[in-house]
Amino acid sequence: MIIPVAFATHTVIATTPGLGEEAFLTAWNSRVATARMTDVEEIEIVVAHGERATLRVGDVFLKIDADQTRTDVEVEAMAMAPLTTPEILWRKPPVLALAALPGTALGHLGESSTASSAAWVAAGGAARTLHEAPLPPWPGRSVDELASRLADECEWLVANEVLPADVVTRNRQIADAALRPWKPAFIHGDLQVDHVFVARDEVTGVVDWSEASRGDAHFDLATLTLGHPEHLGDVVAGYGTDVDLDLIRAWWSLRCLLNVRWLVEHGYGSPNEFPEVAVLRSAATRTKP
């Protein structure tokens, strides 16, 4: 099934093998399964690509994932998390129905955030609450796994002339600082600003838990502030102690280097328009060996 999608700052025409018309229609027709979705005449496609799709029908989100192990992780992580998460309305594989959270997203990657400094401070506090919670039983990515993938992604970026070699090389040098042993914490794994909802300067909830695992707390803080360095101080103030700003910057470079190829291969437009590429170029210019 081919669906035009607008997601954050990326626009994509997404072909979704494994998430074809049957799954799409199942999700659409499932809106009658709950009274909270009555009298809805249209759906909003929040995101769709070759791995998963998320639809909004009224105040309900329908998440369709070709890999149900990710959905298993999301359901278990939300049950364990010490933060407010979306209510699970029902699950009928491959569809997971979730209630919408109150409030609005803290921001969007590639756009200026209209949220207050107090809201960013609250987001930092929420991250600290999560990281102090008991660890999930499943592991996260190891340092060796990340190092191997980083090497592959950097080679691909240069070989395919997606980014200049000097930009890739400098950011890899920065990213290497993150590849060290860390004390494992319960991390969200994709704590981008779009996934944190706020209202009246308070966090009302966090969505999209399919990447949750044990991991480096600095990775969540870096993901939260990626593209929003002006709010790093607010997040750190809310988080409290034990924050290494150099590690945050290392994870900025590492996350961006790992994500660019995925965005290219899933049709998210020109790399020159990716906020991740802007972050990489800025880091290479600002920080010299």
User: In this predicted structure, which of 6-15, 103-112, 114-123, 195-204 has the lowest mean pLDDT?
Assistant: 6-15
Q: How far apart are CA 268 and CA 257, in angstroms?
A: 16
Please provide the average confidence, as pLDDT, over all residues in the chain.
Answer: 89
Class of residue 150 by CB neighbours under 10 A (exposed 0-12, middle 13-18, buried 19+): buried
Q: What is the mean pLDDT of residues 229-237?
A: 98
Compute φ and ψ for 8, nearest 5 degrees. Answer: 55, -125
Q: Mean pLDDT lowest for which of 8-12, 90-94, 185-189?
A: 8-12
Rounded CA-CA distance 55/61 in Å is 6
- We find that the CATH architecture of domain 105-286 is Alpha-Beta Complex (3.90)
Sign of the CA dihedral running 245, 250, 253, 256: negative
- The DSSP symbol for 31 reads G
Assign domain 2-100 one CATH number from 3.40.190.10, 1.10.10.10, 3.40.50.300, 3.30.200.20.
Answer: 3.30.200.20
Q: 207-227 in b/e burial notation, b at 16+ Cβ within 10 A?
A: bbbbbbbbbbbbbbbbbbbbb
Confidence of residue 101 (pLDDT cuts 50, 70, 90): very high
17-46 average pLDDT score: 55
Query: Per-residue confidence at 40, pLDDT binned at 50, 70, 90?
Result: low
Going by pLDDT thresholds of 50, 70 and 90, the confidence category of residue 23 is: low
pLDDT in tens, 71-85: 999 999 999 999 999
pLDDT by residue (tens digit) across 240-276?
988 999 999 999 999 999 999 999 999 899 999 999 9
- Distance separating alpha carbons of residues 202 and 285, to the nearest angstrom: 35
pLDDT at 257: 98
Q: Which residue has the tokens 């838990």?
A: 209
- Residue 50: exposure state from Cβ atoms within 10 A (0-12, 13-18, ≥19): middle
Mean per-residue pLDDT, 18-26:
49
pLDDT band at 51 (very low <50, low <70, confident <90, very high): confident
122: pLDDT strictly greater than 80: yes
pLDDT tens figures, 125-158: 999 999 999 999 999 999 999 999 999 999 999 9
Residue ranges per domain, the chain?
2-100, 105-286
CA 97 to chain centre: 19
